């Protein structure tokens, strides 16, 4: 009897599956090269919980050129999302913001940063636990450091929060973009359950409090 060998079919299916995953970005570690920022632009790097939420908020700020989700503050080069989630690289989930200081200042970005997450809970934002979710500002210059420390002291003294601010203010030492499927998470599919249940309420609050900072003025 003639034997039927199935391995070519199986191999073909594996190749097709791999191509689908590649196209979806699951095997694509880094984002494509970004367009060079306009002359005179600056960067800010913030960590305040899940970068999906933070990215969505700062993408709506007037004067912001780009927002890239990624990892900073760790000891491993080019970490993967899984490595960061395993909490053994020291990285925080962050967004790197390229902005026009003539339109929006670093201090204004800080005000949005501090009022769109809970800066009083160490290594935690809502149901997300772990050092990768810590509240942190990676300052790019001594001027950014001074502005951040001054505003932090002012907020603590004013009693703006029910507990002391635990946000770390540390020198920027590098940034690694997250995998492609993390980029533009809310923009790409606002109908996802996480987007509608977690991100949308934060965006609504942001739009209400900072309506004068929106890329498109709020109609509410």
Give the pLDDT of the chain (220 residues) as one tens digit per residue.
444 445 454 445 444 444 444 444 444 455 444 556 788 999 999 999 999 999 999 999 999 999 999 999 999 999 999 999 999 999 999 999 999 999 999 999 999 999 999 999 999 998 899 999 999 999 999 999 999 999 999 999 999 999 999 999 999 999 999 999 999 999 999 999 999 999 999 999 999 999 999 986 444 3
Task: Using alpha carbons, select from 66, 39, 26 the residue that is nearest to residue 175.
Answer: 66
Q: What is the pLDDT of residue 220?
A: 39
For residues 51 and 141, what is the distance between their CA atoms, to the nearest angstrom?
Answer: 23
Q: What is the pLDDT of residue 102?
A: 96
Helix or strand run (H / E) with residue 171: strand 168-171
For residues 86 and 58, what is the distance between their CA atoms, to the nearest angstrom?
Answer: 27
Catalytic pick among 48, 50, 53, 195:
50
The encoded tokens of residue 31 equal 């984002």
Q: What is the pLDDT of residue 35?
A: 59
Task: Using alpha carbons, select from 199, 197, 171 the residue that is nearest to residue 69.
Answer: 199
Residue ranges of domains in the chain, CATH in brackets:
41-213 (3.30.1060.10)
Residue 50 appears among annotated catalytic residues: yes
pTM (2 d.p.): 0.83
Give the list of residues 6+ apart from residue 34 with CB closer than 8 angstroms, or none: 66, 68
Phi and psi for 194 in degrees, rounded to 5? -65, -40
By the 10 Å C-beta count (0-12 exposed, 13-18 middle, 19+ buried), 176 is classed as buried
């Amino acid at each position: 009897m003639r034997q039927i060998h199935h391995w070519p079919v199986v191999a073909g299916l594996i190749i097709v599956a791999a191509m689908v995953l590649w196209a979806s970005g699951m095997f694509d570690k880094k984002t494509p090269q970004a367009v060079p920022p306009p002359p005179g632009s600056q960067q800010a790097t913030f960590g305040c919980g899940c970068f999906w939420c933070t990215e969505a908020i700062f993408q709506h700020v007037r004067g912001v050129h780009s927002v890239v989700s990624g990892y900073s503050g760790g000891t491993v080069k080019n970490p993967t999302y899984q490595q960061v989630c395993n909490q053994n690289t020291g990285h925080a989930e962050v967004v790197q913001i390229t902005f026009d200081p003539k339109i929006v200042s670093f201090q204004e970005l800080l005000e949005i940063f501090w009022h769109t997450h809970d800066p009083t809970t160490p290594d935690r934002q809502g149901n997300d636990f772990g050092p990768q979710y810590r509240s942190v500002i990676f300052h790019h210059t001594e001027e950014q450091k001074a502005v951040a420390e001054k505003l932090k002291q002012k907020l603590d003294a004013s009693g703006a929060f029910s507990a002391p601010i635990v946000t770390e203010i540390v020198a920027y030492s590098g940034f690694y973009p997250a995998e492609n499927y993390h980029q533009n998470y809310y923009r790409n599919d606002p109908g996802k359950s996480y987007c509608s249940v977690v991100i949308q309420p934060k965006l609504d609050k942001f739009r209400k409090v900072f309506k004068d900072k929106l890329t498109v003025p709020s109609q509410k």
